[in-house]
Amino acid sequence: QSQELSQAHIDYHVALQALQEHGTRMVCTGKMHTDRICRFDYLCYCSEAEEFVFFHSNSSVMLPNLGSRRFQPALLDLSSVEDHNTQYFNFLELPAAALKFMPKPVFVPDVTLILNRFNPDNLMHVFHDDLLPIFYTMKQYSDLDDEARLVFMEGWSEGPHFDLYRILSSKQPLLKEQLRNFGKLMCFTKSYVGLSKMTTWYQYGFVQPQGPKANILVSGNEIRQFARALMEKMNITRVEEAEKDGGSAEDEKEKEKKEDYIVVFSRSTTRLILNEAELIMALAQEFHMRVVTVSLEEQSFPSIIQVISGASMLVSMHGAQLITSLFLPRGAVVVELFPFAVNPEQYTPYKTLASLPGMDLHYISWRNTKEENTITHPDRPWEQGGIAHLEKEERERILASKEVPRHLCCRNPEWLFRIYQDTLVDIPSFLEILKEGMKTKPTLKKSKPASTVHPGRVREPQCQTSVQTTNEAKLTVSWQIPWNLKYLKVREVKYEVWIQEQGENTYMPYILPQQNYTFSENIKPFTTYLVWVRCIFNKNLLGPFADVLMCRT
């Protein structure tokens, strides 16, 4: 793939004239800098100044036109990490007339997506912050197709996982440092700037301790579609899927048994499992399965994914390599190990992933509770958890502590000290946790193609009332089935009715199997009741409420 941008595809003079006459045009989505993606015609980049440039002319457009609010704090986030002050995007402004005095622009003919990778050295960050958001930002804008050009502006070099970024488009992604090769002024004919945050599920603890995002908008379905697309590009086919048709039920059971295996994802430099061989033996004996190990140090990424995509269980120390659990087949088990003094409940990127609705993974965590089984590394550099640089008192406090208190990202020395410990896994306690955890594993067959179709509104809701005595009344509510129900096979259809006496601030909820009901308890004569009705499929798929009924007894 050549770095050259073929200028032949565009008529240079036409492009230059368009830029001079029309200037830059920008139209964005999003009310805030944190949810904004902008589309530009003729956004330029000056490599000398390392700044993007917006050229004003009579026909340029800048929407939103924020004035100087554009700097409070920025036009948009260039990475998928929310409101991170090192990841802001903005541009300089110039009149188009200034072009006359500037170096001749080089035009980029490709539709370009401009963004910052957040931490391309770390596999979890690569997937969560970059690959998934890029993939779905490209899905959002149809001209960001396979021919789109990705431009990474964070300023890092390719990094160890660049092949994964290459998969997203047929064109070689450009790095910031390469932009200067194209000349002093580069103009993107059509570009999008920013990334969708729709697929991210975790916040890293910049403003509050790390944890799942408050409002997760992605489900297992989108994660799995992304995984499938990536596997296709890597030429990986799931053995499991290919072999599952044909043969009698018995044969298949037999085959499945044979094919079942456990993957131990091992780390070879830091945060080690010190008795990995023993752990593997224990797993094999306990589950009567083959156990294979993989590591980023020893295998290519595609070969690791090939193995993981057919596994029944993935066992690993907490760490970025666990992001590969998104390639596990449905129904698989994720077992995450935590070093001494690290509380699994407070570091849940992989638990959250496994628990996304429709991800259909079963998550189990184990933590080392035996201090004698941990190997600390106080003398390593601080970023690998060393604490030698700290005051004696602080060192002693950390060494005496049995659990890392909640903390912010990213340089908390106690956290780093503990998370970079090596661990001798206590096999009895590990197997105990595992057996216990497996008890609550749902069988996939039962919840099989768990439908995600929600009921429509119930139709023609009505109420009828009658007064029995001076303190007794009846309220009959009836309705028709939602319109989409007649096309669906639903295991269980129920209706929920809420009854509220007008003026009160509480309501009585009822769950009913039929399409009408007469209420007499707690119904008073000469009173107005507000009644809401909705349909529920299979216990948890809630439909919308029909318009409220006003029922006067």
Chain residues binding ligand UDP by CB under 6 A are: 122-124, 267-270, 296-297, 319-321
The residue among 296 and 328 lying less far from ligand UDP, judged by its C-beta, is: 296
The residue among 322 and 533 lying less far from ligand UDP, judged by its C-beta, is: 322
Contacts of 210 (CB under 8 A, 6+ apart): 202, 203, 204, 346, 347, 349, 409
- Closest distance between ligand UDP and the C-beta of residue 409, in Å? 12
Q: Give the Cβ contact number of residue 361 at 10 Å.
A: 22
The residue among 187 and 320 lying less far from ligand UDP, judged by its C-beta, is: 320
CA distance 426 to 271: 15
- Closest distance between ligand UDP and the C-beta of residue 221, in Å? 26
Helix (H), strand (E) at residue 472:
strand 472-480
- Closest distance between ligand UDP and the C-beta of residue 46, in Å? 34
- Closest distance between ligand UDP and the C-beta of residue 325, in Å? 12
- Closest distance between ligand UDP and the C-beta of residue 269, in Å? 3
The residue among 295 and 476 lying less far from ligand UDP, judged by its C-beta, is: 295
Q: Which residues of 282-296 are buried (b: 16+ CB within 10 A; e: fewer)?
A: bbeeebebebebbeb
- Closest distance between ligand UDP and the C-beta of residue 156, in Å? 14
The residue among 25 and 128 lying less far from ligand UDP, judged by its C-beta, is: 128
CA proximity to 54, closest of 17, 87, 27, 88 = 27
Residue 71, CA distances (Å) to 1, 92, 157, 196, 361 in order: 37, 11, 28, 21, 43
- Closest distance between ligand UDP and the C-beta of residue 380, in Å? 12
The residue among 64 and 302 lying less far from ligand UDP, judged by its C-beta, is: 302
The residue among 29 and 270 lying less far from ligand UDP, judged by its C-beta, is: 270
- Closest distance between ligand UDP and the C-beta of residue 270, in Å? 5
* 512, two tokens: 């009913």
The residue among 40 and 202 lying less far from ligand UDP, judged by its C-beta, is: 202
CA proximity to 72, closest of 85, 60, 54 = 85
CA distance 182 to 149: 15
- Closest distance between ligand UDP and the C-beta of residue 384, in Å? 8
Q: What is the CB-side half-sphere exposure of residue 82 using CA atoms within 13 A? A: 19
* 407, two tokens: 């903390």
- Closest distance between ligand UDP and the C-beta of residue 123, in Å? 4
CA distance 551 to 464: 7
- Closest distance between ligand UDP and the C-beta of residue 403, in Å? 18
The residue among 297 and 372 lying less far from ligand UDP, judged by its C-beta, is: 297
Residue 498: strand pairing partners: 509, 532
Asked if residues 64 and 28 have their Cβ atoms less than 8 Å apart, the reply is yes
Q: Give the Cβ contact number of residue 521 at 10 Å.
A: 6
Q: Where are the beta strands (DSSP E) in 123-269?
A: 149-152, 174-175, 185-193, 202-203, 211-212, 261-265
The residue among 315 and 531 lying less far from ligand UDP, judged by its C-beta, is: 315
- Look up residue 73 and give its amino acid: P
Residues found in the chain: 553
The residue among 321 and 421 lying less far from ligand UDP, judged by its C-beta, is: 321
**Residue pointed to by tokens 């996982």:** 161
- Compute the CA torsion angle 107, 111, 115, 120 (nearest 10 deg): -100
In whole angstroms, what separates CA 100 from the centre of its chain? 46
The residue among 421 and 553 lying less far from ligand UDP, judged by its C-beta, is: 421
- Compute the CA torsion angle 482, 488, 492, 493 (nearest 10 deg): 10
CA proximity to 151, closest of 122, 111, 119 = 111
- Closest distance between ligand UDP and the C-beta of residue 233, in Å? 20
The residue among 115 and 304 lying less far from ligand UDP, judged by its C-beta, is: 304
- Closest distance between ligand UDP and the C-beta of residue 122, in Å? 5
Q: Give the Cβ contact number of residue 187 at 10 Å.
A: 24
* 534, two tokens: 């909705």
